[in-house]
A and B are shown apart, each in its own frame.
Chain A
């Protein structure tokens, strides 16, 4: 079956612009996660959605980062006023309600010039 998909696969933007990254989880998965993979910080948790519960935003690095999940499916991660340190690969993952295994998408490679 279809796995987690993310778009775009690559994004180049200028410092100060806003960007939106999209994640389509595996059908039927109620949990969705965003992680960031960067050279300096490795793989870091950003945010977690589970059903209709309030999201766990504890990993978001600043208030320029936000995410939403519409209809319990697709999620969008928004970065406002991008900075060069936001350059990274943004990975999305999804899982069933009992999150034993998280399935990852291919990521969006973001480059802020």
Chain B
């Protein structure tokens, strides 16, 4: 079975500062990795995904993530955040041959002016 750990439940950050959200996973088989964002009272929106190839993945809204197989990590970064980035962020994995997503517990990002 897969598991996902998001090490920070909350991350306060000032506007225009960089942010990094940490995600570690555990799996005995090959997995695909995803980051989703959830704005208040909305569903989940895909930010980016890693399937194969380059370990540095660029997504929407200026976010990027790096897959590190040896450290089983998939940390999300943004060099300069905006107030509108205030949301909850979820890391998720899926078995390459599977279908269902396994999510981490989420990280709430609060961007302060």
Contact = CB atoms under 8 A, between A and B. Distances in A.
B100 A91 contact: no
Interface string A66-109: 00000000000000000000000001010000011111111100
Contact of B100 (A48, A104, A105, A107): A48
Interface residues of B, number: 21
A58 B102 CA distance: 13
A20 B37 CA distance: 27
25 contacts: A33-B100, A42-B103, A42-B104, A42-B105, A43-B90, A43-B92, A43-B101, A44-B103, A45-B100, A56-B99, A56-B100, A91-B43, A91-B44, A99-B94, A99-B99, A100-B32, A100-B49, A100-B51, A101-B49, A103-B46, A104-B36, A104-B43, A104-B44, A106-B41, A106-B42
